[in-house]
A and B are shown apart, each in its own frame.
Chain A
Amino acid sequence: MDLPLALNTFMTLSLITLTTPILLTLLSGSLKDAPTTITNTVKTSFLISLIPMTIHIYSGMESLTSVWEWKFIMNFKIPISLKMDFYSLTFFPIALFVSWSILQFATWYMASDPHITKFFTLLLLFLIAMLILVTANNLFVLFIGWEGVGIMSFLLISWWHGRAEANTAALQAVTYNRVGDLGLILCMAWLASTMNTWEIQQLPSTHQTPTLPLLGLILAATGKSAQFGLHPWLPAAMEGPTPVSALLHSSTMVVAGIFLLIRTHPLLSTNQTALTLCLCLGALTTLFAATCALTQNDIKKIIAFSTSSQLGLMMVTIGLNLPELAFLHISTHAFFKAMLFLCSGSIIHNLNGEQDIRKMGGLQKMLPTTTSCLTIGNLALMGTPFLAGFYSKDQILESLNTSYLNTWALTLTLLATSFTAVYTIRMTVLVQTGFVRIQPLTPMNENNPAVTSPITRLALGSITAGFLLTSFMIPTKTPPTTMPLSIKMTALMVTALGIALALEISKMTQTLTLKKQAPLSNFSISLGYFNPLTHRLSSTMLLNSGQNIASHLIDLSWYKKLGPEGLADLQLTASKTATSIHSGLTKAYLGSFALSIIILLMSMH
Chain B
Amino acid sequence: MNPQAKLIFAISLLLGTTITISSNHWIMAWAGLEINTLAILPMISKSHHPRAIEAATKYFLVQAAASTLVLFSGMTNAWHTGQWDITQLTNPVSCLILTSAIAMKLGLVPFHFWFPEVLQGSPLTTGLLLSTTMKLPPMTLLYMTSHSLNPTSLTIMAILSVATGGWMGLNQTQIRKILAFSSISHLGWMVIIIIYNPKLTLLNFYLYTLMTATTFLTLNSMKALKLSTLMTAWTKTPPLNAMLLLTLLSLAGLPPLTGFLPKWMIIQELTKQDMATAATAMSLLSLLGLFFYLRLAYCTTITLPPHTTNHMKLWHTKKPTSIMIAILTTMSTALLPASPLIITII
A residues adjacent to B (C-beta < 8 A): 571, 574-576, 578-579, 582, 584, 586, 588-590, 592-593, 596-597, 600-601, 604-605
Contact = CB atoms under 8 A, between A and B. Distances in A.
B90 to A, nearest CB: 15
Contacts of A605: 92-93, 96
Contacts of B168: 575, 578-579, 582
A339 B57 CA distance: 108
A80 to B, nearest CB: 71
Most chain A CB atoms below 10 A, which of B99, B116, B164, B167: B167
Interface in B149-165: 150, 152-153, 164
B173 to A, nearest CB: 12
Given A578-B164, A586-B61, A593-B104, A604 B153 contact: yes
A600 B57 contact: no
Contacts of A590: 61-62, 65
A584 B115 CA distance: 11
B153 A600 contact: yes
Contacts of B99: 600
Give the dominant DSSP class at A's interface: helix
Contacts of A575: 167-168, 170-171
Given A590-B61, A590-B62, A601-B96, A596 B110 contact: yes
Interface string B28-64: 0000000000000000000000000000011001100
Interface in B138-184: 150, 152-153, 164, 167-168, 170-171
B152 A593 contact: no
A574 B62 contact: no
Contacts of B113: 582, 588-589, 592-593
B111 interface: yes
Contact of A576 (B65, B93, B171): B171
Contacts, number: 61
11 contacts: A574-B167, A586-B57, A586-B58, A588-B113, A589-B114, A590-B65, A593-B104, A596-B111, A597-B69, A604-B153, A605-B96
Nearest to B288: A571
B152 A604 contact: yes
Contacts of A592: 110, 113
B96 to A, nearest CB: 6
A578 B167 contact: yes
A576 B61 CA distance: 27
Given A601-B96, A604-B92, 4 more contacts: A575-B171, A578-B171, A589-B114, A601-B93
B94 to A, nearest CB: 11
Interface string B60-75: 0110010001000000
A580 to B, nearest CB: 10
Closest 10 pairs between A and B when the two form their complex, measured CB to CB: A589-B113, A575-B170, A578-B167, A575-B167, A596-B110, A579-B171, A597-B100, A575-B171, A574-B167, A578-B168
Nearest to B100: A597
B85 to A, nearest CB: 23
Contacts of B61: 586, 590
A174 to B, nearest CB: 58
A601 B116 CA distance: 27
Nearest to B66: A593
A600 B96 contact: yes
Contacts of A579: 168, 171
Contacts of A576: 171
Contacts of B150: 600, 604
B267 interface: no
Contacts of A597: 69, 97, 100
Nearest to A577: B167
A571 B170 contact: yes
Interface in B91-136: 92-93, 96-97, 99-100, 104, 110-111, 113-114, 116-117
Contacts of B116: 582
A582 B165 CA distance: 12
A370 B274 CA distance: 102
B205 to A, nearest CB: 23
Contacts of A604: 92, 96, 150, 152-153
Contacts of B93: 601, 605
A600 B100 contact: yes
A600 B100 CA distance: 8
A578 B109 CA distance: 12
Contacts of B167: 571, 574-575, 578
Nearest to B111: A593
B47 to A, nearest CB: 20
A578 B164 CA distance: 7
Contacts of A601: 93, 96-97
Most chain B CB atoms below 10 A, which of A576, A590, A597: A597
A576 to B, nearest CB: 7
Nearest to A602: B96
A82 B122 CA distance: 103
Contacts of B171: 575-576, 578-579
A605 B152 CA distance: 12
Nearest to A576: B171
A589 B164 contact: no
A593 B114 CA distance: 11
Contacts of B92: 604-605
A576 B93 CA distance: 36
A600 B93 CA distance: 10
A131 B288 CA distance: 77
A126 B97 CA distance: 99
A575 B150 CA distance: 29
A601 B97 CA distance: 8
A588 B93 CA distance: 25
A592 B110 CA distance: 8
A571 B153 CA distance: 25
Contacts of B100: 593, 596-597, 600
Nearest to A597: B100
A571 B152 CA distance: 26
A571 B287 CA distance: 11
A575 B69 CA distance: 31
A579 B117 CA distance: 13
A601 B288 CA distance: 31
Contacts of A582: 113, 116, 168
B53 to A, nearest CB: 13
Given A596-B110, A604-B153, A584 B117 contact: yes
A38 B61 CA distance: 111
A590 B116 CA distance: 15
B57 to A, nearest CB: 7
Contacts of A593: 62, 65, 100, 104, 110-111, 113
Contacts of B104: 593
Contacts of A596: 100, 110-111
A579 B166 CA distance: 11
A125 B34 CA distance: 108
Nearest to A568: B291
Nearest to B172: A579
Nearest to A583: B113
A578 B112 CA distance: 13
Nearest to B168: A578
A571 B170 CA distance: 9
A600 B73 CA distance: 14
A593 to B, nearest CB: 6
Nearest to A587: B61
Interface string B282-294: 0000001000000
Contacts of A588: 113
